[in-house]
């Protein structure tokens, strides 16, 4: 007891020193683990970035040509889209049938059609098909000419269905054709109304 009473300050100092060392070591170890973990993460990020840089440099020549290639693809896509009308309104359908009548010198009865979606494209455009049924009456040769024309017309179309009744004595072929006229519903192009010639209704000057 005399020893404790005499050296109590020293004993307390030793205990406090031991506690301080313990706290320091414990805190140091935890901070060391955090530091090592963070270091590993940074090393992984650096390695990943180095690999990406090496990959980009590997294809640098191709990447320099990529912009021109994208522009070329875009121009090609628009060139393809321009082969289709954006929309076929009723006036477009009338003009098309009138053209067929003029071509085959026969009167054609028809019913208006509405476009239905056929395929959705990645850029948001939609390939659509418009079914239009025409009732015709012509000669047998006229019928063959009509089929040949539809097969080679610059307008992209298909014959969906066809009927024919032929009177050999009168050489009259009559029936119905159901056509699919293809359109491209896209924001890349604008609708163009058909060019309809306005007939003359009179003279500008009645004294001429």
Q: Is residue 132 part of a domain?
A: yes
Average pLDDT over residues 83-110: 84
Say yes or no to pLDDT of 128 above 90.
yes
Q: What are the E-state strand segments in the chain?
A: 109-111, 115-120, 126-138, 157-167, 172-185
pLDDT at 36: 75
Q: Is residue 109 part of a domain?
A: yes
Lowest pLDDT segment from 118-122, 144-148, 150-154: 150-154
Q: Is residue 14 part of a domain?
A: no
Q: Which domain holds residue 154?
A: 90-185
Q: Is residue 150 part of a domain?
A: yes
Average pLDDT over residues 50-69: 73
The residue among 162, 100, 156 whose CA lies nearest residue 130 is 156
Q: Is residue 192 part of a domain?
A: no
Q: Is residue 175 part of a domain?
A: yes
- Tell me the C-alpha distance between 77 and 83, whole Å: 10
Say yes or no to pLDDT of 145 above 90.
no
> Is 164 within 8 Å of 174 (Cβ atoms)?
yes
Q: Is residue 117 part of a domain?
A: yes
Averaged pLDDT of the chain: 78
> Within 13 Å and on the Cβ side, how many CA atoms surround 125?
19
The total number of structural domains in the chain stands at: 1
**Interval 4-13: pLDDT, tens:** 455 556 566 6
CATH number at residue 113: 3.30.70.60
Say yes or no to pLDDT of 198 above 60.
no
Q: Is residue 118 part of a domain?
A: yes
pLDDT at 177: 84
């Amino acid at each position: 007891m005399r020893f404790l009473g005499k050296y109590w300050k020293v004993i307390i100092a030793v205990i406090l020193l031991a506690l301080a060392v313990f706290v320091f070591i414990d805190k140091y170890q935890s901070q060391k683990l955090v530091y090592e973990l963070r270091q590993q993460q940074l090393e992984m990020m650096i390695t990943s970035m180095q690999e990406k840089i090496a990959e980009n440099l590997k294809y640098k020549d191709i990447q320099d040509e990529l912009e021109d290639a994208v522009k070329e693809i875009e121009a090609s896509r628009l060139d393809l889209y321009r082969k289709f009308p954006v929309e076929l309104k009723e006036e477009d359908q009338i003009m098309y049938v009138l053209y067929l009548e003029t071509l085959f010198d026969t009167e054609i009865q028809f019913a208006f059609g509405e476009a239905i979606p056929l395929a959705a494209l990645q850029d948001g455009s939609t390939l659509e098909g418009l079914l239009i049924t025409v009732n015709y009456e012509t000669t047998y040769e006229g019928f063959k000419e009509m089929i040949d024309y539809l097969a080679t017309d610059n307008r992209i179309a298909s014959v969906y269905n066809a009927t024919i009744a032929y009177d050999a004595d009168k050489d009259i072929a009559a029936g119905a054709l159901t056509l699919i006229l293809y359109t491209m519903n896209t924001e890349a192009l604008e609708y163009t109304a058909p060019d309809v010639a306005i007939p003359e209704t009179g003279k500008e000057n009645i004294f001429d």
